[in-house]
Amino acid sequence: DSSVRDVVSTMWANEEDAGVQMLGCASLGRMATEAGSSDKDIASVALLGVTAVVNAMKNHPNEPAVQERACAALAVLAPADGVREVSFAASGAISSVVSAMQAHVSDATVQIEACRALRGIAAKGGAERATMVASVSGFTALINAMGAHPDDGDVQRETCLAMEVLTSFPDAYLPNIAGQAEPFLQAAAENFPDDCLKPAMAVREKLL
C-alpha cells in the first residue's frame, strides 16, 4: 500500500521529530482501522507499520503524546500479530507498551491506550503473548496504573479488561500477583461496578 509506505518513510526520515512520529502513529492506526476487519487486511498496514511505531516509542520515551498514539495504533494493529512476517514479540512492541506505562504512570490516557494494546495483543496471541507480557513486568504496570488512578473509571475499566484477557489462558506462565492485585480489583469492582465488577471478579477467580 503506497499510502502506508509514504507514512512509514516519513516517520523513518524524521525519527527525531516527535510531532511527525505522533502524527505518523495516528495515521497508521487510522489506516489499520480503515483497512478492513480481517487479520490479513490489517497485516497490510502492520507489515511496515509495527516497526515504525515501535521505533517512534523508543526514540521518544518521554513524550506522552507519542506513546499514547503509538499504543493506540498497536491496539488496532494487534490482530495482525503472527500474520505473514508481523511479530509483536520480535519487533519489541510488547516491551515498548509496558515501558510506556512505566514511564508515564501519572498519565491516564497513556495508561488507557497501553491497556487496550496489551489486551489486543493477548487476545490474538494467547498464552504465549500473555506470558511475554508477564515477563516484561506487564502485570506490575497494570497494578501500578490502578493504584495511580483510583478515581478514573476509564483507567480502572481498561486495566480490569486487560487483566481479564491476560489471565484467561491456563497455559500462560504468570506471576503470583494475587496479594498485590486483590485490593485494587476489589476497589475497582466496588467503585465502578457497571464497568469493572464482572472483569475484576473474573480476574480474582483466576488468581486466587
Distance between CA atoms of residues 117 and 13, nearest Å: 26
Q: Is the dihedral of CA 118, 133, 177, 111 positive or negative?
A: negative
CB 78 within 8 A of CB 38: no
Cell of 77: 494493529
Q: Is the dihedral of CA 193, 111, 113, 130 positive or negative?
A: negative
Please calculate the CA angle 16-78-155 and round it to the nearest 5 degrees: 80
The pLDDT tens digits of the residues spanning 136-175 come to 999 999 999 999 999 999 999 999 999 999 999 999 999 8
The pLDDT tens digits of the residues spanning 39-93 come to 899 999 999 999 999 999 999 999 999 999 999 999 999 999 999 999 999 999 9
Q: What is the arithmetic mean of pLDDT over 123-135?
A: 95
Distance between CA atoms of residues 68 and 21, nearest Å: 11
pLDDT at 37 (0 to 100): 79
Q: Is the predicted pLDDT of residue 127 greater than 90, yes or no?
A: yes
Distance between CA atoms of residues 167 and 133, nearest Å: 11
